[in-house]
Chains A and B, each alone.
Chain A
């Protein structure tokens, strides 16, 4: 059974950093691209970033380029989202997803507030 389990969310002040992790199981992790998607009540669902199977190719939405970094460790079956210079508008539930977005984690809440 495919499982994706996010961790690392929490309350953080504006301008600070946070790193999310997504532990994968139930499939051959290195064979799949991975992604992060976030959701807020006001903006809905937003794709945030994606990474290729080997990690050599990464893609970001414009609003997080230069602040967020997606990465993966295929030996640990884990992907990451390093979030720097956080803003209040980054407040959301962050989901880990496997390409082609058939499988999602349960989400982790990130709140950016002073």
Chain B
């Protein structure tokens, strides 16, 4: 199984900050990497698909990059509504696997 190691697990940042969240796969996932935001009591919401493609309706302050085993989600200027938990997800090979999550708190 491909292990997805996500870091950090907890992040506290201020409005306007540039924030990065990382995900490292245990093997090459060929850019088949999605990023999700989840708020309490809600389903995960897709932000970025296949490494760097912005989902329709998602603000352009969100971006993704990476290749091989290393991937990054960047929020260029943190907004108050960006609090929540962020997950990476690989859909390159079975079984599909998620990262353990990064809880983003707004200072």
Give the B-binding residues of A (Cβ under 8 A).
35, 44-47, 50, 59, 61-62, 95, 100-107
Contacts and interface: CB of A to CB of B under 8 A. Distances in A.
Main secondary structure of the interface of B (DSSP, over half): loop
Interface stretch (B13-21, B42-50, B59-67): B42-50
A47 B96 contact: yes
B16 to A, nearest CB: 29
A58 to B, nearest CB: 11
Interface of B: 34, 42-44, 46, 49, 55, 87, 89, 91, 94-98, 100-101
Contact of B98 (A46, A62, A100): A46
A61 B95 contact: yes
Contact of A45 (B42, B46, B55, B87): B87
Nearest to B89: A101
Nearest to A107: B43
Most buried by B among A46, A47, A61, A95: A47
A37 to B, nearest CB: 8
Given A46-B98, A47-B96, A100 B43 contact: no
A45 B55 CA distance: 20
A61 B98 CA distance: 13
Contact of A104 (B44, B55, B91, B96): B44
A47 B95 contact: yes
Contacts of B98: 44-47
B49 A95 contact: no
Contacts of B100: 44
A105 B43 contact: yes
